[in-house]
Structure 1
Amino acid sequence: MLLMCLFIVAGTSIAHAQQPLPSVLKVDSLPVKADSLLLGTDSMALATDSLIQMMDSLAKEVSKPAPIVDSTLLQCYVVDSQTGDSIPYANAIYRTLKVGASSDADGHFTIEKKAGEQLTVTAVGYKPRRIKVTDDTPNTLHITLIADSKQLQGVVVKAKRRHRYSRKDNPAVELMKRVIAAKKESLLSNHSYYQYDKYQKVTMAINNLTPDDIEGKMFKKAPWLLDQVEVCPYNNKLILPISVDETLTQHIYRKDPRDEKDIVLGQTTKGISKLIQTGEALNTIVKDLFKDINLYDDQIDLLQKRFPSPIGSTAISFYHFYIDDTVYVNQDQCIRLQFMPANQQDFGFRGELYVLNDSTLHVKKCDMQLPANTGVNFVDAMKFEQEFTKLNNGEWALTTDNMVAELKLTDLLQRAIVIRTTGMNNYAFNPIDDKLFKGKAKVTYDANAKMRDNDFWAAHRTTQLTKSEASMDSFVKRMSKTKHFKWLLFTTKALVENFIETGNEDKPSKVDIGPVNTFISKNFVDGIRVRASARTTAKFNPHWFFEGYYAYGTKSHQNYYDAKVTYSFNKPEYQPIEFPIRTISIESNRDVESPSDKYLKHSKDNIFMTFRPVKVEKLYFYNRQRIKFEWETNYGLATSIGLSTESNRPTGKLIYEKMDGSLVDRIRLTELSLSLDYRPGQSYVNSKQRRMEVNLDAPEFKLKHTMGLKNFLGGHFNTNLTELAIYKRFWLGSWGHVDTRVEGGAQWNKVPFPYLITPPVNTSYFEHLGTFNLMQPLEFLNDR
């Protein structure tokens, strides 16, 4: 999905009529010099005079105080005066106030702005730099330090045997043991109640734009893209934001009886993903992959993997710790420790912990990153920043949780970045009304969550939008007016969403045509098969949904159809398959299929099913009528009751033969089914075709019983089929995980072979989870 968004940006620029490149690039960011703006990009050279002019203009533009920066804070970046390289772990202090801070691994730090005081910045191997802070001092400072050659004189480097790390009598290890032992006393869950507000902003962007990119075709043919470019404060690279998602959540907790919930008070999405109906799926997947981390948990869930926490129960054996220095973080004196995995091939973090130098031993701050060699192949770099603040009641609570991930999607589109900024505030420990804990759903939505106005977001943001993020609507509007963009978007959406919308931005689609990949297909009986299908959306009617298709086999000359009417008790945003499903539907269908097609999660007419390693020659015509009721709770329990009647007639090389050798032309079965499906904690993303599970850690339990009714609606047989399925993922720490699926069934009656249990078979070239690839349909039959 992110790949598609990048494709749209690139494609739009190619479709745009060529215009001259402006010489001024306006970007809100740090006021750095033109020759250092490209630090961390692929090129340090300024290729042309026009680019030099543009970058100088950029330096002048960004040297103005940015309106989005907190006026009470100084945001500083420390670099070497000669090379321009960032200086990690530099110390800054107001000596008279004893207030200090330290730069991170990239040379960034933030400190309070104290007018009238002198800020001293020091680093090993550099001369101290003293800066007089006044009311006129810019809120963003680019601090250069000069190497101190005197400090380097007389240094003799001698070869020495490498020091072996030992946990015994190691001060860092002893300190971390005390930190781990003390963390239980710091948990907010020790209180009877607590609550807080969490604001989260997730930005997706094209990363690491280079001089070649800016001078290239994309920006020459779409010069307005330059207005969207800015400098990322986390890696000091030029980026092009394409989507921003904001969420405000109220988290509530009750100790007895234990319960906690997230109430989503506001949610909004801007950018390219809003142009695509499945854009919400992208945001959900990104949030699941790059979810919030809790440093105080033993294991941290991230990228659908688990990593040992640096203050978890296994941290002492998994990580190596080193005491680095004693520094001030804001006004709190802290012990800074470095940590890294003992085995660099293990799934673990490396970074710095700042532990309060007092009896509480609480973590004040944590800066860590994911090493590139931990097996997460699409992540080039990933960094985290967490900071804890002392509340009025003396408790320490997480107030800042930021993450930046630089991604490599494909060889063609290598550069993408996801920036997640999270701020927590309004902590309270008063009793909470029990009404808020009603229901078992862990996440609930306020009725107006997706209709919040700009005033609401301005009042609740803990981090302001950048200039590019704030102008995302105008960016998309300019893109939509670009020549040929509508055709590019139309083609992209048809390929990705598999449906063609009949509406536009002003008049949302009431009818979608598709799935596109079923327009033409092939099977043994029909030969070439053509199909036309469509369905209505929630814009047509928020409760009533209609869908169907007509198909024709050019070899069999058979006509097929499907007609379905669904009533949704909810008001879904687009389709009735959205969680939670609460529907009743009536369907009539005549078609041809293979016995293995019932295990497919997509349409059997998918054009890719035309290409198979084996010939599927055993098929049957069916005529089926069905009524079905589905009700899904907010906490994951789904109940389904269905009644169907079906007649089918063998075709191709499938025959129905009795023991005496006589043939049966057709059989008819009437079935009543009841299904219970429980998936606690599961979350979903919706596409136009189906919904998909996101949380693979959520267990699944499914029990279904189907009863065939003889002499009811023409049914020929009594049948009783019971099926049970269980899924659970078990984690083995840094070793990985084991996905366990157990399925079983029993047919309690004597039935014709088409109604016996057959293993799920996959006859295509594409892998389908839970199916057997090297088996033929009806190859193995059993009643248990």
Structure 2
Amino acid sequence: YSGKTYLPVFLSESLSDVYYRNTPRTRREVIRASRVSGIDNASISQLLGDMIQQVNIYDNYITLFQKNFVSPLAGTALFSYRYYLVDSAYIDGHWCYKMAFKPRRKQEFTFYGDIWIHDSTYAVKQFEMHIAGDANINFINDLVLFQEFELTEGQHWMLAKDKLLVDFNITQRDSARNIGFFGSKTSSYRDFVINQPREKAFYNTPTTIMVDQAAGVKDDAFWADARHEALTRREDMVYQMVDTLRSLPVFKTWVDIVQMVTTGYYVHGNMEWGPYMSTYSFNQLEGHRFRLSGRTSNHFSTKLMLEGYTAYGLSDQQIKYSGGFTYMIDKNPRRVLSGSVRYDVEQLGQSQNAFREDFLLASLFRRNPADKLSMVHQYKGYYEHEWFTGLSNTFSFTQRSLWSSGRVPFSIHCENGDCLKHTDVIRTSEISINTRFAMHEKVVMGEFERVSLGGKYPVLEINYTYGIPGLFSGDFEYHRLQLSLRHWFNIFSLGWSKYSIEAGKIWGKVPYPLLKIHPGNETYVYDETAFNLMNYYEFISDQYVSFYYTHHFVGALFNKIPVFRKLKWREVAQVKGVIGNVTKENLAFSALPAGTYTTWKPYVEAGLGIENIFRVFRVDAVWRLSYYDHTNINKFGVLVSMQFDF
């Protein structure tokens, strides 16, 4: 491809029946056969289907790698493209005109190429286009789109062939020794059946992509007959080549290195050792901390995963540990049973997106000492049940014992309010029901984990928790309800935005560690889901509303400035806030530590940043806009982070 030498490492084929209903809009795909070089995995087969990277030339914007590219047929395309009439000819018996197009300006998300238009219906007969060579996009040298349409039943122009070729680069694009890989996908469509609707029950399935049980056992004779187009000689040799490559020690070594860097685990036989960045860390409570951890690999089982670790701190001289299992009852729809036990330190009021307490970078880049940790002994079990793609429930039971530390003592007021009684441990037993709804969400599934690719609609989560007094020494009775809504979306060609809104309320008298401790950040590493200039334990609530909004301009402004255009830096802006309060009953129930407050007025912070520095780094300048009177705070901060983004 493009005059570059390459080694084939992966080839896959699939044969599917695709069904589509316009009202209500529903799509279903049944994979009848699949063939994957060197990999036998039903989850991989689902990725081979028709759903991945669909391009509609008639859309105003074509989304590629989370970027909105202006379509040459957009309503406002004249502002982005120049057009040239260059040819006319019969194609498959249809008289068509050929138009070439190219971008009007540099470094915008546009294409160049040519398109054939049918003379009487003005429909697209075929096109081929490349992304603009100077587009502000990472890790891609070139991307080629080709589509061909055919007239069906004399009135419907249907997509007959769809080709996608991407030239990915790992080193810089202009490097003398460019290292990268090609990704290529070719889809063909035939045997169209139009306006013969199926019954409603046909579409009422848990998943939109179904894989026949016999899909992976088709022989060569079947494929030779079923393929729409015969494989080229080079493609036909890939299956043998891939098996040979996978047996070479050098190739296996590179695969192991890439996997270790990207996942944090080193795979050896039935075990995955890691995460290696938690092998050593340090904090005020434990001093120097050493950890040995691992989990079983897919070689051990693709249904059952065992994991655990043991750790030791030189200062507190205590052994910490964790162990658990995950059992995959079904992968599609997802049905998971899991259980774990953990005895270790924990930073209460830390966001789910933050580094783990024992992550080495969290120890190195701190703006305050890690002296607010608490010891936690926890038993947890949960069952996740996905009803259909996008809707799932998780039922969990958690028993926790939480010990106080020097900076965060537990002091509960006596019933008459005249005294304080100190307690070393708080015990809770609770059950939770979580509901997650993500309409038309696309996911990439592994054997145990999966990654959301997002969707057109917001993701809604509702979580209800009940604290059961007396069960397994549970001390308190309470109800907790949390609702969250989050989504990301493109804004024309001006970049993309992400937002999150969360609301919650707690009923019942509980000590402050069981209230909502709003997520702070005491490191110099930017945390998108935390308040980066808020200290740990600084704000608590038993009813609250919080939000954050971030917009990535993807160079919409910097691309107009020559220096920044060459650097390919990108702008980002964000704002976050929370407001809430604590009822008089909970304020009177326990004594708050020094430096802990309620959010009776909004806490707000905002920031501006530059991302894509050397293609991986991001720097944010963040301003705190309220509560200046609190002690030991930062009104302004500069935070850094790493991100891999196209």
Normalising by the residue count of structure 2, what TM-score does the alignment of the two structures yield? 0.73
- Taking a change above 3 Å as real, the CA distance of residues 478 and 568 of structure 1, as seen in their structure-2 partners, is closer
1:237-283 per-residue CA deviation (whole Å, 9 max, x = no partner) reads 44443332333332112345543222233333336xx59x99969x9
1:617 alignment partner in structure 2? 371
The residue type paired with residue 677 of structure 1 is R
1:653 alignment partner in structure 2? 407
1:742 alignment partner in structure 2? 501
Residue 593 in structure 1 maps to residue 346 in structure 2: yes
Residue 419 in structure 1 maps to residue 184 in structure 2: yes
1:557 alignment partner in structure 2? 317
- Taking a change above 3 Å as real, the CA distance of residues 607 and 473 of structure 1, as seen in their structure-2 partners, is farther
2:35 alignment partner in structure 1? 268
Considering fraction of residues, name the structure with more strand: 2
Higher relative contact order (CA 8 A, sep 6+): 1
- Taking a change above 3 Å as real, the CA distance of residues 287 and 251 of structure 1, as seen in their structure-2 partners, is closer
Tell me the distance in 2 between the aligned counterparts of 1:285 and 1:374.
28
Deviation at 1:742, TM superposition (A): 1.1
Deviation at 1:714, TM superposition (A): 1.6
Tell me the distance in 1 between the aligned counterparts of 2:26 and 2:324.
41
Q: Secondary structure at the match of 1:479?
A: helix
1:330-729 pair list within 5 angstroms: 330-344=92-106, 346-357=108-119, 359-391=120-152, 395-411=156-172, 413-429=178-194, 431=196, 433-434=198-199, 435-439=201-205, 441-482=207-248, 486-503=252-269, 509=270, 511-536=271-296, 540=300, 543-570=303-330, 572=331, 580-597=333-350, 599-600=352-353, 603-614=356-367, 615-658=369-412, 660-686=419-445, 690-695=449-454, 697-729=456-488
Q: Secondary structure at the match of 1:776?
A: coil
1:250 alignment partner in structure 2? 17
The residue type paired with residue 408 of structure 2 is L
Query: How many pairs align?
Result: 532
* Partners of 1:249 and 1:266 within 8 A in 2: yes
* Partners of 1:521 and 1:607 within 8 A in 2: yes
Q: Secondary structure at the match of 1:641?
A: strand
Deviation at 1:618, TM superposition (A): 0.9
Tell me the distance in 2 between the aligned counterparts of 1:285 and 1:755.
46
Tell me the distance in 2 between the aligned counterparts of 1:524 and 1:287.
53
Tell me the distance in 1 between the aligned counterparts of 2:240 and 2:305.
34
The residue type paired with residue 68 of structure 2 is R
Q: Percent identity?
A: 25
The RMSD of aligned alpha carbons is: 3.4
The residue type paired with residue 224 of structure 2 is A
Deviation at 1:728, TM superposition (A): 2.3
- Taking a change above 3 Å as real, the CA distance of residues 527 and 451 of structure 1, as seen in their structure-2 partners, is farther
Q: Secondary structure at the match of 2:411?
A: coil
Tell me the distance in 2 between the aligned counterparts of 1:688 and 1:653.
42
Deviation at 1:696, TM superposition (A): 5.4
- Taking a change above 3 Å as real, the CA distance of residues 585 and 758 of structure 1, as seen in their structure-2 partners, is same
Deviation at 1:540, TM superposition (A): 4.7
- Taking a change above 3 Å as real, the CA distance of residues 373 and 598 of structure 1, as seen in their structure-2 partners, is closer
Q: Secondary structure at the match of 1:657?
A: strand
Deviation at 1:541, TM superposition (A): 5.4
Deviation at 1:698, TM superposition (A): 4.5
Tell me the distance in 2 between the aligned counterparts of 1:309 and 1:362.
15
1:284-316 per-residue CA deviation (whole Å, 9 max, x = no partner) reads 69999x812112333322221223333344445
Tell me the distance in 2 between the aligned counterparts of 1:353 and 1:484.
44
- Taking a change above 3 Å as real, the CA distance of residues 298 and 442 of structure 1, as seen in their structure-2 partners, is farther
Tell me the distance in 2 between the aligned counterparts of 1:634 and 1:251.
18
1:103-114 pair list within 5 angstroms: none
- Taking a change above 3 Å as real, the CA distance of residues 390 and 488 of structure 1, as seen in their structure-2 partners, is closer
1:138-217 pair list within 5 angstroms: none
Q: Secondary structure at the match of 1:777?
A: coil
Q: Secondary structure at the match of 1:654?
A: coil
Considering fraction of residues, name the structure with more helix: 1
Report the more deviating stretch, 594-603 or 397-406: 594-603
Q: Secondary structure at the match of 1:734?
A: coil
- Taking a change above 3 Å as real, the CA distance of residues 550 and 687 of structure 1, as seen in their structure-2 partners, is farther
Q: Where does the alignment leave 5 or more consecutive residues of structure 2 unmatched? A: 414-418, 545-646
Deviation at 1:617, TM superposition (A): 0.7
Q: Secondary structure at the match of 2:9?
A: strand
Q: Secondary structure at the match of 1:361?
A: coil
Report the more deviating stretch, 689-698 or 662-671: 689-698
- Taking a change above 3 Å as real, the CA distance of residues 442 and 498 of structure 1, as seen in their structure-2 partners, is same
Tell me the distance in 2 between the aligned counterparts of 1:725 and 1:367.
42
Tell me the distance in 1 between the aligned counterparts of 2:327 and 2:143.
45
Deviation at 1:778, TM superposition (A): 0.8
1:593-621 per-residue CA deviation (whole Å, 9 max, x = no partner) reads 11145624775433333323232111111
Tell me the distance in 1 between the aligned counterparts of 2:193 and 2:300.
45
Q: Which of 15, 26, 44 is the equivalent residue of 1:259?
A: 26
Deviation at 1:472, TM superposition (A): 2.9
1:184-207 per-residue CA deviation (whole Å, 9 max, x = no partner) reads xxxxxxxxxxxxxxxxxxxxxxxx
Q: Where does the alignment leave 5 or more consecutive residues of structure 1 unmatched? A: 1-231, 504-508, 573-578
The residue type paired with residue 237 of structure 2 is S
Tell me the distance in 1 between the aligned counterparts of 2:25 and 2:250.
56
Deviation at 1:754, TM superposition (A): 1.1
- Taking a change above 3 Å as real, the CA distance of residues 496 and 353 of structure 1, as seen in their structure-2 partners, is closer
1:2-36 per-residue CA deviation (whole Å, 9 max, x = no partner) reads xxxxxxxxxxxxxxxxxxxxxxxxxxxxxxxxxxx
* Partners of 2:353 and 2:528 within 8 A in 1: no
Q: Secondary structure at the match of 1:772?
A: coil
* Partners of 2:246 and 2:252 within 8 A in 1: yes
1:753 alignment partner in structure 2? 512
Tell me the distance in 2 between the aligned counterparts of 1:477 and 1:447.
24
Tell me the distance in 2 between the aligned counterparts of 1:287 and 1:523.
50
Tell me the distance in 1 between the aligned counterparts of 2:327 and 2:184.
40
Q: Secondary structure at the match of 2:538?
A: coil
2:490 alignment partner in structure 1? 731
- Taking a change above 3 Å as real, the CA distance of residues 451 and 248 of structure 1, as seen in their structure-2 partners, is same
Structure with bigger gyration radius: 1
Tell me the distance in 2 between the aligned counterparts of 1:544 and 1:488.
27
* Partners of 1:372 and 1:379 within 8 A in 2: no
Deviation at 1:690, TM superposition (A): 4.5
* Partners of 2:115 and 2:127 within 8 A in 1: yes
Tell me the distance in 2 between the aligned counterparts of 1:450 and 1:762.
48
The residue type paired with residue 351 of structure 1 is G
Report the more deviating stretch, 611-620 or 546-555: 546-555
* Partners of 1:247 and 1:264 within 8 A in 2: yes
* Partners of 2:14 and 2:49 within 8 A in 1: no
Tell me the distance in 2 between the aligned counterparts of 1:280 and 1:543.
16
